Amino acid sequence: MRLEKDCIGEMFVPDDALYGIHSLRAKQNFPITREHVNSLIIESYLQIKKAAALANQQAGTLNKEKATFIISACNQLLLSKDFRAMIVPAIQGGAGTSTNMNINEVVANLAMKISGEGSQDPVSIHPNDDVNQSQSTNDTYPTAGKMAILKALDPLEDMLKDLTHALEQKAEAYRNAIKVGRTQLQDAVPTTFGRSFQAYSSMFKRDLQKMKSFEASLEQVNLGGTAIGTGLNASVSYRQAVTPILSQVSHLSLTQSDDLVDATQNSDVFAGFSAILKGLAINLSKFCNDLRLLASGPQTGLAELSLPKVQAGSSIMPGKVNPVIPEVVNQVAFEIIGKDLTVTMAAESGQLELNAFEPIIFRELLISEDHLTKVIQTLIENCVTGIKVNLTHCQHEVDHSSISATILSPYLGYEQTMALIKKSEVTHTSVKQVVKMAHLLPDSLIDSLFSPEVLTNSKPIEPSESGSFVNSNR
């Protein structure tokens, strides 16, 4: 065991530990969860430390030898992805200081270990003075958080593209599959599953566009602002160089915020991004609600769709199969909506020159991105691609739906059409047959009006085609 000191006092740290006293105190102070800081934040933080060492060396405030070993330590950790020494819990007080110091301690100790390989005299590298030079938690932590969010965004956007593509394939496959429309869960005029699937695709394309348009806000970082955005203790050379260097190191298109004070104290950008994720969650849940309704039954429900059977649904009812994939999507959506409230409250609760609650903001956003990505993947693979429309059943519903009589209103008027609907319901005869038996319109026109193309308005009848019968009976 080695004895280390900080402003609070002394603690023993295991001899072989790369972390130090600051990390160990945080682990003891925040026993809320065993969940550690997200690996994307750790990766991003290591890239920041590497970029800072390069910028400080370029500025002449960090000698080449120390910079080289710091960079080597960062590279080794980034390459191995061995983050076992990052022991700080994800939920923590201190505005991310514990995470920053955990990184500083691990990089410093590993850098000294590397410098001592094959030598009796390792270089002394201090976690604060060297690894954290020209930096503060208050500019590095939000920068690392934004970088992590951007990295998690790519797979989410890719999966969302796959979902829109899968829905467009369904739209094409069932372009002419007619069905009864529903408003307020009551029968409405007919439509097609092609249009329904295309509408879902358009909805998710809108979510994708919102995400892409928001990327520029996440790419603006406050690195170089140090404690409160004024840049205290950072050279002009460092402040100008560090963000461009970090962009090269991370392969992200990062820019330094025009107002570093604003970017340091205000968290509205995270609330805005959270709202986009919530919007996606709402749309996913609505889509899956529709799937569960349309596939309900199958004997006594709507049964217009058949969802893939992926697992047994009951321990007591043999043969029962439940819509488990839409159900898990619903539950993830509920989770995301709840996390949005957490982010909202955390963003609102920041005071004066800093928001102390970014740890919970980043945790919630990164979990949301990850869970959305995974749940969309299972939605595509285990549900959407295997959806089948029950064509015969849907056609039968349209044929026997009195609401289809809406097509007659321009020819017979609202009141007479309503009378025909009531007669259809009493006699259990289709409206089409009731109209034919009443000899109110020529059979040829009736057949045209009740064709799928006209009922769904994909091929409207022009007045010239119906001749003198338009409005003649009103």
Asked if residues 190 and 179 have their Cβ atoms less than 8 Å apart, the reply is yes
Is pLDDT above 50 for 363? Answer: yes
Q: Confirm if 149 and 369 have CB atoms less than 8 A apart.
A: yes
Helices 137-173, 193-218: axis angle to 10 degrees equals: 160
What architecture does CATH give domain 2-133? Orthogonal Bundle (1.10)
CA angle 319, 380, 294 (to 5 degrees): 55
CATH of domain 148-227+246-391: 1.20.200.10
Integer-rounded Cα Rg, in Å, for the chain is: 31
Structure tokens at 193: 């599953």
Confidence of residue 466 (pLDDT cuts 50, 70, 90): low
3-state SS class at 256 = strand
Element (H, E) at 98: helix 97-115
What pLDDT score was predicted for residue 121? 85
Residue type, position 308, single letter = P
Domain ranges of the chain: 2-133, 148-227+246-391, 400-469
* 83, two tokens: 């983050």
User: What is the average pLDDT value for the chain, to the nearest integer?
Assistant: 94
- With a pLDDT cut of 70, the percent of the chain lying above it is 97
How far is the C-alpha of 169 from the C-alpha of 238, rounded, in Å?
52
Statement: residue 414 has pLDDT above 80: yes
pLDDT of residue 403: 86
* Pairwise CA distance, residues 461 & 466, whole Å: 7
Supply the pLDDT for residue 262. 97
Q: What is the pLDDT of residues 289-320, one digit of tens each?
A: 999 999 999 999 999 999 999 988 888 998 89
Between CA 213 and CA 219 the distance in angstroms is 11
* pLDDT beyond 60 at 463: no
Residue ranges of alpha helices (H) inside 174-295 are 193-218, 236-250, 260-265, 268-294
Would you say residue 21 has pLDDT above 60? yes
Per-residue confidence (pLDDT) for residue 369, from 0 to 100: 98
Pick among 1.10.40, 1.10.3470, 1.20.81, 2.40.128: CATH of 400-469: 1.10.40
The confidence score (pLDDT) of residue 431 equals 87
194: Cα within 13 Å, side-chain hemisphere: 12
Look-up: residue for tokens 């020819």?
A: 411
pLDDT of 233 strictly over 60: yes
Provide the whole-model pTM: 0.93
Look at residue 314 in the predicted model and tell me its pLDDT. 84
- Which pLDDT band, with edges at 50, 70 and 90, does 231 fall under? very high
> In the predicted model, what is the mean pLDDT of residues 151-173?
98
Tell me, what amino acid is at 442? P
Q: Which two tokens stand for residue 35?
A: 């969940």
Active site residues: 314
pLDDT tens sequence across 85-114: 999 999 999 999 999 999 999 999 999 999
Give the number of other CB atoms < 10 A from CB of residue 283: 16
Give the pLDDT confidence of 330-362 residue by residue, as tens digits: 999 999 999 999 999 999 999 999 999 999 999
| Structural element, H or E, at residue 186 | strand 186-192
pLDDT reported for residue 474: 44
473 pLDDT band, cuts 50/70/90, is very low
Q: Which residue has the tokens 């976690």?
A: 127
pLDDT value for 46: 98
Q: Which amino acid is at 456?
A: T
Residue 458: pLDDT band (50, 70, 90) is confident
Residue with tokens 């959407």: 384
Strand partners, 351: 354
Please report which confidence band the pLDDT of residue 460 belongs to, taking 50, 70 and 90 as the band edges. Answer: confident
Compute the distance between CA of residue 177 and CA of residue 392 in angstroms, rounded to an integer. Answer: 9
Q: How confident is the model at residue 147 (pLDDT cuts 50, 70, 90)?
A: very high
* pLDDT exceeds 60 at position 407: yes
Between CA 53 and CA 47 the distance in angstroms is 10
Q: Which of 368, 456, 469 is nearest to 189 (CA)?
A: 456
Quick check: bond before 410 cis, omega within 30?
no
| Fold match, 2-133 / 148-227+246-391 | no
460: left (phi over 0), alpha (psi -120 to 50) or beta: beta
Q: Which residues pair with 22 in a beta bridge?
A: none
Give residue-wise pLDDT tens across range 178-224: 999 999 999 899 999 999 999 999 999 999 999 999 999 999 999 99
Per-residue tokens: 169: 């394939």
